[in-house]
Amino acid sequence: MSKFKKILLIIITIIVIASCLILVKDYYKNYKNVAYSKEVTQESTGKDLNVSNKIPVLMYHDINNDKNMNLMKIDKKSFEEQMKYLKDNNYNTLTIDQFYDSIINGKKVPKKSVLITFDDGYEDHYKNAYPVLKKYNLHATMFIITDYLDKGTLYLKSNELKEMSDNGIDIESHTTNHPYLDKLTYEEQLKTLQNSKSKLEDICKKSVRFVAYPYGAYNTNTIKADKKLGYMMAFTTKGKWADLNKGAYALNRIYIFPQYDLNNFKDRIDNPSYSQIVHPIKAIEEAYYSILAWY
């Protein structure tokens, strides 16, 4: 990289960090004023059955205590606190098939039902999340980037994936290499969706029928490819409760960010119109990826 480009990169990085700090400051100002003023008053019994047309799908990424800059990371204590809350308060954690039967086929599920999902296939999903899920006997679904399996210490190993799959964790696709699907041709999309599916089926010896789009990005070709390959349902990263507003191939999920405390977690799983403040992390993420793409 030339000296000019290095200087330019430093300047841009400073501008991005400064902008993010402003956004974070504004966010917290808004967050305190708006999110906490919205008390959740509705108490559900956990026993009522519900033909649910809206279900909260929780979206997790890393679960660890490392002091790095990963902004989607939840520390182990907070994760356990959230899972314990679900257990202690009689939430019903759905398998991906139960979720499908409810949201697509209208089958009744307990009123306090949630789907827990993890993206990317990090090693800490096995080391830190899986033991907690087992401890509280909770179901969950993991969306795996298959090219990253067995590569280094950050990502899962095939045998860990198989073990979790054998013990009730649903293993589904997050493509082979985490592309923006909407930037690929139809054939390229078909390839990454097909290869990730086949690899997971080889490892787990179970059919893979669901996919989460990296960055939540998709277009009409993605849905066409999904259908051709036998995917029955797909998830985005749009922060809302899942419903069929945009069909079975564009289901929303709820961000779980480290900045949120348990009150906010409760709001997100109890209240379909939980506070929808634009999160600064999304802006940071987009700025980061746009710089990478530029270089």
Cα–Cα distance, 142 to 139 (Å, whole number): 10
Beta-strand (E) ranges in the chain? 49-50, 57-60, 92-93, 109-110, 113-120, 141-144, 170-173, 210-212, 233-239, 251-255
Handedness of CA 58, 143, 128, 165 (dihedral sign): positive
Size of the site for Zn ion (CB under 5 A): 3
Q: Which of residues 106-125 bind Zn ion (CB under 5 A)?
A: 119-120
Q: Which is nearer to Zn ion, 35 or 251 (CB)?
A: 251
Binding mask 194-223 for Zn ion (x = CB under 5 A): --------------------x---------
CA distance 98 to 220: 26
The contact mask relative to Zn ion for 7-46 (x = CB under 5 A, - = no) is ----------------------------------------
Enter the tokens of residue 232. 């029955």
The least distance separating Zn ion from the CB of residue 49, rounded to whole angstroms, comes to: 33
Nearest residue (CB) to Zn ion, 3 versus 152? 152
Nearer to Zn ion (CB atom), residue 120 or residue 170: 120
> What count of other Cβ atoms lies within 10 Å of the Cβ of residue 273?
10
- Smallest gap, in angstroms, from Cβ of residue 77 to Zn ion? 24
62 binds Zn ion (CB under 5 A): no
* Whole-number Å distance between alpha carbons of 174 and 216: 10
Min dist CB 104 to Zn ion, Å, is 23
**Closest distance to Zn ion from the beta carbon of 14 (Å):** 27
Spatial distance between the Cα atoms of 156 and 70, rounded to a whole number of angstroms? 18
Per CB under 5 A, residues contacting Zn ion are 119-120, 214
